[in-house]
Structure 1
Amino acid sequence: MSKSARNRAQRNVLTKREIPWGSIAFFTVVGVIAVGAISFAFAQSRPSSADGTAAISGVIEKPGLGRDHTTGPVKYETNPPMGGDHDPMWQNCDARVYDRPLRNENAVHSLEHGAVWITYRPGLAGDGLNRLTAKVKATDYTMISPNPGQDAPVVLTAWGKQLKLQDAGDARVDAFLRANVKGPGTPEPGAACGGAKDTA
């Protein structure tokens, strides 16, 4: 090989650019994570009409609820409350059945975490209480308790959403649970639902 050919070969080896696969892989992963985070944030900010609640007749919605912590009593606009300021300690809502009324301020904190709270007037007709209790025992992020002062035999409540029913066997019970357990619009879906207040 001539001297000029050797020089050209050395220049080609020295000037040949390596493809930076490590950098490409790193920035691809960062991009995928960013797109996922943006998509998740968008999904969480979508209005409730994007979830299954809009298709359930009779659901009442209350947007713009406060979320401050307080250890004092809170005057809520609805009974049971649909959200608002609440106690720093949530009510355990990991498929919990309570036989006494709950303190609203603790139960509201559970709603903030994505729980559905089923309340009933004492003396619920037929086997209604048994049916509701069985649903709660089979569904995490739910709780059930009596509520003597409510104006319907059965009320299902999620953060900012409520459904009042006359009959515990109403098919909308299942639809509401599907749409609202850790559902869209919940401020802290999937936050802890156990390890806090375990008594009524």
Structure 2
Amino acid sequence: MKIGLYFGTFNPIHIGHLIIANHMAEYSDLEQVWMVVTPHNPLKQKNTLLDDYQRLHLVRLATEDYPKIKPSDIEFKLPQPNYTVNTLAHLMEKYPKHQFSLIMGEDNLKSLHKWKNYEYILEHHDIYIYPRVSEEADNFQFKDHPRIHWIDAPIVEISSTFIRENIKNKKNVRPLLPDSVWAYVDHNNFYKK
């Protein structure tokens, strides 16, 4: 099975994440998309970052009606700080019959050359790129690499930071979150302080 890995803190997961994940699952050759929740780096102070399992629960709530999109806590069990190349190695060992690819925005592709063992990743894994508003595709070192697949997904400019700040400022951000995620966030008073 061909799996696309969509990494993020998902703090919180919002409709933009779902639009991208669903587009990849429906309009590319990926058979499933796994939303890989990035654990809190113990070396970083992040007061606004919800507990790892709370964020995983939000991803579960958001994806329960999408059979091709699955939440993943695979990085919770790996040593920190973690690198994508280590996660890929762990997944290939655990699921040898699956083929794993990465899903990322154009903005992340610009810094791919700074990733640990990026040459290995490019040699062994496809990367599916979705567009971002502010990016110029001509600037990309790997633009024409055979493992890079440009997917004409909708451009979604919604950020978790915007959502958190506006919950704190008592603005209504409900349309930006799946209903089940909004209900859970609101019930638990997340991001209000």
TM over 0.5: no
Please report the TM-score for the alignment, with normalisation by the length of structure 2: 0.26
Structure number with greater Rg is 1
